Structure 1
């Protein structure tokens, strides 16, 4: 029986390289790779084919091969890859040499190996030390039957003699990731801005992918696997391809295009949507609980309607958003960053950019009376606006239990069982005060 290993991969700078793959990257740190494969110059009695150039993060039970002119009979995956830490167990009872950091060499019989410690039996003592203290370990003998990479082997059957096999190898692998990066560049008028949406794509595998067809999926898919995904990468580059969006069952899939390159250990930034000119609502938030008393700057909130009328109406994936302000001089300054949840069409994105310098809130408890079966408090909230323009204020008050509000000096809305909202508009260089009393009773 003869076997042949032939792969459509090249080696460059110690990284494997894939050509013409179709890759779908998920938010969970996994990707689905659909790799065209070709075996040439087959022998007449060829019945075994082997593939051993794969990402280190491959999900072992995921690969399957579909051949155009042959039938796959069996598939075996040898994942017994060499790991020095694992091989230490094979030397239990053997004499080894250990060099500790900033200390002399020592020799002894290896009697215990754990994730954190090594233990040696020396001539007159037993010594145990943390593995992070080890500079190097010298083991006796030579390594035999060492496999450095995972290997897939297939037994195949052909109906007629062929010298070429073609097909597709599909598998899941960890080491990939992506997230949306948004930018809102606010115009000097403070009510509109330019909205930019990019995708940051991470390839933390040992393979580079050239001339690939790339898709991104928004939504958390249940994979029931632990992902070790590192966020630091060696390189970063940008491209301005726009995505096409379609539905994938209950998820959204973004087709980023073909003929794209993603180098190993690289982060690629590409455009999700063309830039949009949008409007937004800016509000200052002061949020408190029952008996809290404080004086502090108000939080700044931006609300962006994801609607046709606002030049959006797009499925916006989860990510982070950076805010920039265009000054009257034309200069652009960074003013904050926030996370953004998934925003379906016709919903509204809410963004916080930090605390305002010139809009201050002060909350006082004027009176508090607690009896055996009741509680009553009178609250005063003053918001001062020292800006040269008017501002919209959102006062949020949280009251818990069975309560009623009395003698409110301003209209309010009940949001839920424990929240009320006072909307205010405060002119430039002025202030407003809201007072109310809440009462709670229990049996």
Structure 2
């Protein structure tokens, strides 16, 4: 008899054990490796919609019962790619996994309670009296929300009084946090250290450089921030942060498989009311003029930025990852939801550079309007040149000193990816003292005109200028008044323009077209 009772007890207990749900609310520790958007190029991060991705590794401690159980990993990233999720450390392995698709939101609450009873709470503005009554939701969040009360049908928040809804319970299938559920079967009750690894969209990173030109105008100090963007609604506190530089070969369509939880939009619309602000002819009055724009800042001082002093132990460490570069942040940081994080990426002092002026033109251009030359900074990315390290692409803020000892913003530029050994060129803005003018030389003929380029220098010192002249493959430059070199598929005119002086180049184009 006792054996029969025991068997019956096990028989009826089986289904109950199969329904055991174990919830892991947050990871014990987390590491995130961020990859840049390979299609972004040298542009900046889209702060509203970061389009890179990340590899997230979470360590969680979970207490499992014997037998079948469903484990809910709460607080995973919104952009989690569920098909990429790998769970290790479970004694019974993973039987199946599911991405809980719908998040808790006002729209989801309305949709899940459609046709059911809720409580409508209203406050009288004049008397502050609170009135509560039962209502039934008859139209969901996709349209104007319609309620049925004892007085009839009406739209939510169309009465003109402050009002809200309260619910007796949360509809099934809704989750307050993005959640991944897996089922497992453990041979015995155990506390296991589990690792959850997955790819997630909604991340991106970029380098942001600060260049400070020395007073002698021959060297500069280079500092770079590693800026990481997290476009998810989940924060990663005390995370180990890594970033991968280089163009990663990515063929998967992450937008199609990321499986982000659905959160419907709540639309509250009322029936149109009569307008009493129309003009006598029935039209709308003209809109009010916009407020005056805030005055633009005259200058930006470098001292307004944080005076960063970073020790070597806090600068990201560079490692090789195949042909890519991996940057490991040496301390744990908070990567907050819908925010950006900056940590020190690299730092170099007293880097020698060359200042020159440049322009890129077409060989057949005849625009005689003077155009300013670009101010350019050139460095050699070599150890003997003060650099000698990979430089990820990113924005560059260039500051230069004044005679009064201030450091002011000279240019806001961009830098492409540079490998060790390459020549680094920074666009430091247009010059107001150095110009290029096109024209025809006096000896021009109608059948083959002679073009003339004139460089003018209004400064009190000589400057170096490089003009890149682009021509079609079938065109040739003949009768050059000075020697030109060929570089990167174009003709290069390198010259020195004396202080308060000019320099000229005359050339003729011979075309076979």
Task: Bin the TM-score by the shorter chain.
Answer: 0.7 to 0.9
Q: Does 2:314 correspond to 1:292?
A: no
Bigger Rg, which one? 2
- Alpha-carbon separation, structure 2, partners of 1:316 and 1:268: 19
| Residue aligned with 2:33, SS | strand
- Report if the CA contact (8 A) 1:3-1:50 is conserved: no
- Equivalent residue, structure 1, for 2:194: 167
Cα distance, 1:90 vs structure 2: 9.8
- Alpha-carbon separation, structure 1, partners of 2:482 and 2:391: 36
- Alpha-carbon separation, structure 2, partners of 1:430 and 1:180: 40
- Report if the CA contact (8 A) 1:284-1:298 is conserved: yes
- Report if the CA contact (8 A) 1:194-1:278 is conserved: yes
Cα distance, 1:352 vs structure 2: 0.9
Give the alignment's Cα RMSD to 1 decimal: 3.5
Find 1:262's aligned residue among 325, 335, 338. 335
Cα distance, 1:429–1:55 mapped onto 2, change above 3 Å: same
- Report if the CA contact (8 A) 1:401-1:440 is conserved: no
Render the CA deviation track for 1:358-382: whole Å, top value 9, x for unaligned: 1121111343645xxxxx3311111
- Alpha-carbon separation, structure 2, partners of 1:25 and 1:270: 13
- Equivalent residue, structure 1, for 2:181: 153
Q: Does 2:496 correspond to 1:422?
A: no
**Length-normalised TM-score, structure 2:** 0.67
Q: Does 2:296 correspond to 1:224?
A: no
- Alpha-carbon separation, structure 2, partners of 1:422 and 1:281: 17
- Report 1:185-196 matches (<5 A): 185-196=212-223
Cα distance, 1:239 vs structure 2: 9.4
- Alpha-carbon separation, structure 1, partners of 2:69 and 2:229: 38
Render the CA deviation track for 1:108-167: whole Å, top value 9, x for unaligned: x989x7xxx99x9xxxxxxxxxxxxxxxxx99x9984341344322222334x2331211
Structure 1: tracts of 5 or more residues without a match: 10-17, 93-108, 121-137, 229-235, 371-375
> 348-357 vs 203-212, which deviates more?
203-212
- Report if the CA contact (8 A) 1:197-1:274 is conserved: yes
- Alpha-carbon separation, structure 1, partners of 2:98 and 2:408: 57
- Report 1:19-58 matches (<5 A): 19-28=28-37, 29-40=52-63, 42-58=64-80
Structure 2: tracts of 5 or more residues without a match: 1-16, 38-51, 115-137, 147-163, 261-305
- Alpha-carbon separation, structure 1, partners of 2:111 and 2:336: 36
- Equivalent residue, structure 2, for 1:247: 320
Greater share of residues in strand: 1
- Equivalent residue, structure 2, for 1:302: 377
Render the CA deviation track for 1:356-408: whole Å, top value 9, x for unaligned: 111121111343645xxxxx331111111121221100112222241222221
- Equivalent residue, structure 1, for 2:353: 280
- Report 1:18-417 matches (<5 A): 18-28=27-37, 29-40=52-63, 42-67=64-89, 69-81=91-103, 144-148=171-175, 149-159=177-187, 161-221=188-248, 222=250, 223-226=252-255, 240=310, 241-289=314-362, 290-293=364-367, 294-366=369-441, 367=444, 369=446, 376-417=448-489
Cα distance, 1:3–1:88 mapped onto 2, change above 3 Å: closer
- Alpha-carbon separation, structure 2, partners of 1:261 and 1:345: 31
- Equivalent residue, structure 1, for 2:506: 435
Cα distance, 1:48–1:91 mapped onto 2, change above 3 Å: closer
Cα distance, 1:84–1:219 mapped onto 2, change above 3 Å: farther
- Alpha-carbon separation, structure 1, partners of 2:182 and 2:36: 31
Cα distance, 1:6–1:368 mapped onto 2, change above 3 Å: farther
- Report if the CA contact (8 A) 1:338-1:352 is conserved: yes
- Report if the CA contact (8 A) 1:239-1:269 is conserved: no
- Alpha-carbon separation, structure 2, partners of 1:342 and 1:297: 27
- Report if the CA contact (8 A) 2:31-2:239 is conserved: yes
Greater share of residues in helix: 2
**Length-normalised TM-score, structure 1:** 0.77
| Residue aligned with 1:291, SS | coil
Render the CA deviation track for 1:146-190: whole Å, top value 9, x for unaligned: 41344322222334x233121100111222221101111111222
Render the CA deviation track for 1:199-236: whole Å, top value 9, x for unaligned: 112223222222221100112331522399xxxxxxx9
